[in-house]
A and B are shown apart, each in its own frame.
Chain A
Amino acid sequence: MTPRVLPYLLALALTVVVLGVGAAAFAPPAAAQPAPAQVKPLPRSATPAGKDVSDRDVVTKRDAAGQVPATGKPRTSTGTALAFWLFAAITIGGSIFVITRKNLITAVMGMVGTFFGLAALYMLLYAHFLAVIQMLVYAGAIMVLFVFVIMILNKPEDEPYATKGRAGKAVAGLAMAYLIYRLASVLLSVDRNVTAAQLAAPAPTAEGYDWGSTAAVGWNLFNEYLFPFEAVSILLLVAVVGAIAVARPLKDDDGEVLPPGDGGRGAGGA
Chain B
Amino acid sequence: MSLAILDGGTFYHHAAIHGGRYRELFDKTIYAPELTTEALAGVTFLIVPDRINPNVLRARRDVLIDFAKAGHTLVVFGENRADTWLPGVTWAARPTNFWWWLDKDARPPNRLLAPDHELFQAVPFENTIWHFHGVLTPPAGARVLIDVPADPEGRDSGGALLYEDRVTLPGRMLVSTLDPFYHHGSNFMPAATKLLDGFLPWAREKALRPGRGGI
Judge: A and B partners, yes or no: no
Which residues on A are within 8 Å of B, measured CB to CB?
Answer: none
